[in-house]
């Protein structure tokens, strides 16, 4: 017999085990400043920067020292209007700002700034108090050679009216209350004509009509009631004023030609405001070019393009250069310095790009037949159909040539200069373009490639695009967002792994960091490492995290640093252009996904986001099963399994799926008459092959419903009539019975029991109005319901029910009298934990919160140890929680039986400093948690889970390793050719009966229950 025996006892030898518990630092980069919406003010960039509810205005001359925050001398404000991307307006050498005194305030008013503290102040508190005045339609004009601005603003006394400012407090005033008293005239469409400004407004008598102002109250008058009487002559979505020389043109209704619009011309006088006649019906697309007004007339099935070039002449038709016929269905009229570009769609549906030269205004030249045949090659999406002009008389645009999909093109107005710039996505799919910014002849844009990876590119005069991030590789930047042109530079935001999203600029060949505005460390976010889910096919733990670049997205880990990575990015760079605020309250550019819930079954993971439900096997990217925008939080979504299918809820809808798109179907809604109802289904409990839940029906109120997988039906109208829905109403299965809470409009909260039939659905107890509604409904050994509840006499305490009224009682008044011990446990989504036949919860018995256990008897309900969180995670190795000791600070601990069994899991921050662990989760023998350092940066740490003591007996028939925190005791027989390793931190005890066999490899070492995230 050959036995290799190695055992190390206490006091003999010690093996040093290296432990590295840090798995991941959440967003290792500094905080992001997220520079965004900017405007060129006197050759400086004025822009918005900062996280949601922490934004500021900044200015930059392109240098770090010249990039400074804009702050009022008073020390209060201005703070940008967080729900509006357009908050900065050029005003001579200054800027007008829509801002509030403090972040997250709704008191947005008009401010002015020259970039200095002394020159930054609020112009007026138009709506006194905490509300904003709805500043809109800002237009910079001149009166008597003085630069001023007209705008619309709301006050409770005057309504939405016409205001004026010269950039001083004294010069900011109500110009005229056009619609008397508190009614609103809603002025808009301001256009300077000589010494006057024309605009549209409603005085309450004449409807929306043409007005003018010379900047004085007396000189603000109705120019003409074009459509006599109260009827509006103006349609806000169609009507427009265009000034040309000493005349202005507008398209309005006058009532003389049915509902058609007419083209009017005005010299600023009532007598000089006249129609050009009925021959030009429904003028639209009014565009000024080369001192001429171009517009389209609508004849029903088609439109013609015309222009008029003086105050007395009549419109002239524009013809095709080659065909001699009138230009049809012109749209997207886009002027450059010497050319007018437009799209013309023929009667057969074919559309082409045309160009009108300034020297030949009546002729439109075809550039190129981009997609031969009768196709319209331009995007249907209006935002993508627009033409983008350059400073060298060219336009960039999107078109589909029938081969390459919708891609970027350029035209100089003729065949030779009209070409595709790039085929971003090879094949017929086309690219997804956004963030177009021109600088001279250069165009910057963001687009994806064939691998659906997005980047920022530049093309110069239509040349092959180049990656902007590669101009200066040493900067190591990515995720570029063009902001604004200032001089010959493009300013943009970009991400760097050290500095986060910060401000950069480029001259088209070299990039430079303008300033690292936000240098503080990353702040916390409750959504990191929550929710989490264990895959059922050994693919590891899936969790939510933010790396600072991609936002909150789905990650995956096997417990090792090398095995921890971003699994899938649901919302990818770039953030959709034009967002007024991020899609979460997190960071602006990080495209965070809002995660609602996750569920694992049969080797699949179901992921619920704010826009739908997805599924993945944990290896391949998720597939979207349904799109639904009603989902907002975990209370709107529940899962369960019946008959091998996964059932889930989407607010008031019940669905089922086999994990495929084709196999995902909606069963129905609680109340078919109210499809759009937002009263959520509560719970999804399986009893006798049926699913039960609480649902709201507009006839019955919130009651117990059942589904057999095909239909939804009411179990019983337990509270006759339409009782109220409540967020406190819950449901839980115990054995083959259901316990649920309803709110009775007459008696308050009530606890019910049901076996799924109407006859056996009964009221157990009425807790009343002045009570603590039953919560944390938990299944105790399939025999009892245990929950937290109570009244004003006992306070909130631990209760139980055996399914009878007499057996629904308080277990123990832990905090005697009418004070509450408030039993809770936040670990198990609204349920208590269970360990060794006891229910585990945290409660306060009057001396602070502690971890309690209960066998549902008063004598068996007592404190186990103190605890500093509301979480207690029960596992097969003990109960894990967070508490504080002077020697370790607030760190992770575990307990098995009583206070003597408490052990420190790990001192994350050595010494007495606190790591404050939360969101503990067990996975494959490991315990994961989120922790904090002194700067509140977030980390994920992981430790091995072990019992305090392991006792082995019997026969060991397979290779094994047994670890314990304190000791391993063995009297086992180790079979031949077996390798057994025993590890413990204190001692290993070989008891009588222990023996090894032939070719046994036995190892006993001091130093067990140690884990490293860095070793293989």
Average pLDDT, integer, range 295-317: 90
Condensed to tens digits (0 to 9), the pLDDT of residues 612-661 reads 999 999 999 999 999 998 887 777 899 999 999 999 999 999 999 999 99
Strand 967-970, strand 949-952: pairing: parallel
562 Rama class: left (phi>0) / alpha (psi -120 to 50) / beta: alpha
Burial group, residue 949, by CB count within 10 angstroms (0-12, 13-18, 19+): middle
The CB-based long-range contact list for 641-646 (8 Å cut-off, 24+ gap) reads 641/601, 641/686, 642/686, 642/689, 642/690, 642/691, 642/709, 643/689, 643/709, 644/602, 645/709, 646/599, 646/601, 646/602, 646/604, 646/606
Share of the chain above pLDDT 90, in %: 81
Supply the pLDDT for residue 18: 57
- Answer yes or no: is pLDDT of 6 > 70: no
Condensed to tens digits (0 to 9), the pLDDT of residues 510-525 reads 999 999 998 887 666 7
If you ran DSSP here, which 8-state letter would residue 414 be given? S
Average pLDDT, integer, range 137-156: 97
Supply the pLDDT for residue 52: 65
- Answer yes or no: is pLDDT of 17 > 60: no
Q: Which helix (H) or strand (E) holds 647?
A: strand 645-650
Peptide bond into 78 cis (omega under 30): yes
For the beta sheet containing 454-460, the strands, ordered from the edge strand earlier in sequence to the opposite edge, are: 434-439, 442-448, 454-460, 466-467
For the beta sheet containing 849-854, the strands, ordered from the edge strand earlier in sequence to the opposite edge, are: 833-835, 838-844, 849-854, 862-866
Q: How many angstroms separate the CA atoms of 904 and 790, rounded?
A: 35
Are residues 64 and 514 in contact, defined by beta-carbon separation less than 8 angstroms?
Answer: yes
Q: How high is the mean pLDDT of the chain?
A: 92
Q: How many angstroms separate the CA atoms of 791 and 771, rounded?
A: 4
Supply the pLDDT for residue 625: 98
Supply the pLDDT for residue 7: 45
Per the listing, tokens 């204190």 go with 986
Q: Which pLDDT band, with edges at 50, 70 and 90, does 4 fall under?
A: very low
525 or 413, which is more confident: 413
- Answer yes or no: is pLDDT of 5 > 70: no
| Closest by Cα among 855, 774, 776 to 812 | 855
The encoded tokens of residue 228 equal 């006599």
299 or 352, which is more confident: 352
- Answer yes or no: is pLDDT of 129 > 70: yes
- Answer yes or no: is pLDDT of 904 > 70: yes
Are residues 677 and 653 in contact, defined by beta-carbon separation less than 8 angstroms?
Answer: no
| Closest by Cα among 564, 560, 562 to 545 | 564
- Answer yes or no: is pLDDT of 453 > 50: yes
Per the listing, tokens 């349609």 go with 235
152 Rama class: left (phi>0) / alpha (psi -120 to 50) / beta: beta
Average pLDDT, integer, range 388-395: 98
Q: How many angstroms separate the CA atoms of 152 and 644, rounded?
A: 61
Rg (CA), the chain: 36
SS3 469: helix
pTM for the model: 0.88
Q: How many angstroms separate the CA atoms of 865 and 851, rounded?
A: 5
Least confident of 179-183, 477-481, 491-495, 859-863: 179-183
Q: Which pLDDT band, with edges at 50, 70 and 90, does 421 fall under?
A: very high
If you ran DSSP here, which 8-state letter would residue 131 be given? S
Positive or negative: CA dihedral 370, 373, 374, 379: negative
Supply the pLDDT for residue 632: 78
Supply the pLDDT for residue 425: 93
Q: Which pLDDT band, with edges at 50, 70 and 90, does 224 fall under?
A: very high
Burial group, residue 585, by CB count within 10 angstroms (0-12, 13-18, 19+): middle
Are residues 933 and 22 in contact, defined by beta-carbon separation less than 8 angstroms?
Answer: no
Q: How many angstroms separate the CA atoms of 259 and 236, rounded?
A: 15
- Answer yes or no: is pLDDT of 829 > 70: yes
Query: Can you name the residues that pair with 955 across neighbouring β-strands?
Result: 973
Q: How many angstroms separate the CA atoms of 715 and 707, rounded?
A: 10
């Amino acid at each position: 017999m050959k036995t290799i025996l190695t055992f190390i006892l206490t006091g003999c030898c010690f093996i040093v085990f290296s432990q590295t518990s840090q798995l991941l630092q959440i967003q290792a980069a500094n905080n992001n400043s997220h520079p965004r919406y900017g405007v060129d003010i006197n050759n400086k960039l004025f822009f918005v920067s900062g996280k949601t509810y922490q934004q500021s205005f900044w200015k930059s001359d392109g240098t770090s020292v010249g990039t400074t925050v804009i702050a009022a001398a008073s020390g209060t404000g201005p703070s940008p209007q967080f729900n509006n991307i357009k908050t900065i307006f050029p005003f001579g050498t200054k800027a007008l700002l829509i801002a509030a005194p403090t972040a997250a305030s709704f008191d947005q008013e008009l401010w002015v700034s020259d970039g200095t503290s002394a020159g930054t102040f609020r112009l007026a508190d138009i709506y006194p108090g905490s509300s904003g005045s709805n500043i809109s339609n800002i237009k910079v004009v001149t009166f008597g050679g003085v630069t001023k601005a007209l705008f619309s603003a709301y006050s409770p006394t005057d309504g939405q009216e016409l205001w004026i400012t010269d950039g001083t407090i004294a010069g900011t005033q109500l110009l005229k209350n056009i619609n008397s008293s508190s009614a609103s005239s809603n002025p808009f469409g301001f256009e300077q004509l000589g010494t006057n400004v024309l605009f549209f407004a409603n005085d309450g008598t004449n409807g929306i009509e043409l007005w003018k102002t010379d900047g004085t109250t007396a000189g603000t008058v109705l120019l003409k009631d074009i459509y006599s009487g109260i009827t509006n002559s103006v349609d806000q979505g169609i009507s427009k004023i265009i000034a040309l020389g000493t005349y202005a043109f507008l398209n309005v209704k006058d009532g003389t030609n049915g509902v058609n619009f007419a083209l009017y011309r005005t010299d600023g006088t009532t007598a000089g405001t006249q129609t050009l006649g009925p021959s030009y019906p429904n003028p639209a697309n009014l565009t000024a070019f080369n001192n001429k007004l171009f517009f389209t007339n609508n004849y029903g099935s088609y439109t013609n393009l015309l222009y008029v070039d003086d105050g007395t002449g009549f419109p002239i038709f524009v013809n095709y250069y080659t065909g001699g016929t009138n230009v049809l269905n012109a749209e997207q009229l886009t002027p450059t310095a010497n050319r007018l570009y437009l799209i013309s769609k023929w009667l057969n549906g074919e559309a082409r790009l045309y160009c009108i030269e300034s020297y030949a205004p009546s002729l439109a030249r075809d550039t190129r037949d981009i997609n031969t045949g009768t196709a319209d090659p331009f995007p249907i999406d209006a935002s993508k159909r627009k033409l983008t002009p350059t400073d060298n008389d060219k336009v960039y645009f999107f078109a589909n040539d029938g081969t390459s999909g919708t891609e970027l093109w350029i035209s100089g107005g003729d065949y030779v200069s009209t070409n595709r710039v790039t085929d971003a996505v090879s094949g017929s799919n086309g690219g997804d373009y956004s963030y177009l910014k021109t600088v001279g002849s250069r165009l910057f844009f963001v687009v994806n490639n064939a691998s659906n990876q997005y980047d920022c590119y530049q093309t110069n005069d239509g040349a092959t695009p180049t990656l902007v991030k590669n101009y200066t590789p040493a900067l190591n930047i990515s995720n570029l967002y063009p902001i604004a042109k200032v001089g010959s530079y493009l300013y943009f935001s970009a991400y760097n792994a050290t500095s986060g999203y910060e401000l950069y600029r480029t001259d088209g060949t070299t990039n430079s960091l303008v300033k690292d505005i936000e240098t503080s460390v990353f702040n916390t976010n409750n959504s990191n490492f929550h929710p989490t889910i264990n895959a059922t096919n050994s693919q590891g733990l899936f969790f939510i995290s933010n790396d600072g670049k991609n936002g909150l997205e789905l990650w995956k880990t096997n417990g090792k640093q090398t095995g921890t990575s971003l699994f899938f990015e649901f919302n990818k760079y770039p953030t959709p252009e034009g967002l007024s605020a991020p899609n979460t309250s997190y960071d602006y550019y990080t495209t965070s996904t809002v995660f609602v819930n996750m569920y694992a079954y049969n080797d699949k993971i179901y992921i619920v986001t704010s826009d739908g439900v997805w599924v993945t096997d944990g290896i391949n990217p998720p597939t979207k099963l349904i799109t639904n925008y009603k989902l907002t939080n975990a209370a709107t979504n529940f899962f369960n399994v019946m008959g091998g299918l996964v059932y889930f809820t989407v607010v008031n809808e019940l669905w089922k799926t086999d994990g495929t798109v084709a196999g995902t179907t909606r069963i129905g809604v609680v109340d078919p008459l109210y499809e759009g109802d937002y009263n959520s289904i509560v719970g999804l409990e399986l009893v006798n092959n049926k699913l039960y839940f609480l649902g709201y029906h507009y006839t019955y109120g919130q009651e117990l419903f059942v589904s057999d997988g095909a239909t939804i039906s009411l179990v019983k109208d337990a509270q006759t009539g339409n009782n109220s829905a409540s967020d406190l109403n819950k449901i839980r299965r115990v054995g083959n019975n259901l316990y649920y809470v309803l709110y009775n409009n007459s008696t308050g909260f009530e606890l019910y029991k049901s076996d799924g039939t109407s006859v056996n659905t009964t009221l157990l107890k009425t807790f009343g109005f002045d009570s603590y509604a039953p919560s944390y409904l938990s299944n105790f050994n399939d025999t009892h319901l245990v929950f937290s509840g109570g009244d004003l006499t006992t306070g909130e305490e631990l209760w139980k029910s055996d399914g009878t009224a007499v057996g629904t009682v308080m277990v123990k008044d832990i905090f005697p009298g009418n004070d509450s011990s408030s039993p809770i446990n936040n670990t198990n989504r609204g349920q208590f934990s269970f360990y060794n036949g006891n229910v585990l919860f945290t409660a306060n018995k009057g001396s602070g919160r502690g971890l309690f256990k209960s066998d549902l008897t008063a004598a068996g309900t007592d404190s186990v140890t103190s605890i500093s969180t509301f979480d207690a995670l029960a596992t097969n190795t003990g109960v894990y929680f967070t508490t504080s000791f002077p020697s370790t600070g607030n760190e992770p601990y575990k307990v098995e039986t009583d206070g003597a069994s408490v052990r420190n899991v790990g001192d994350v921050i050595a010494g007495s400093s606190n790591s404050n662990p939360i969101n503990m989760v067990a996975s494959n023998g490991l315990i994961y948690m989120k922790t904090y350092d002194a700067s509140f940066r977030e980390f994920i740490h992981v430790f091995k889970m072990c019992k305090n003591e392991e006792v082995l007996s019997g026969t060991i028939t397979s290779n094994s390793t047994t670890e314990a925190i304190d000791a391993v005791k063995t009297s086992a027989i180790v079979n031949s050719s077996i390798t057994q390793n025993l590890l413990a931190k204190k001692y290993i005890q070989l008891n009588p009966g222990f023996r090894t066999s032939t070719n046994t490899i036995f190892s006993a070492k001091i130093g067990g229950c140690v884990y490293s995230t860095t070793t293989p």
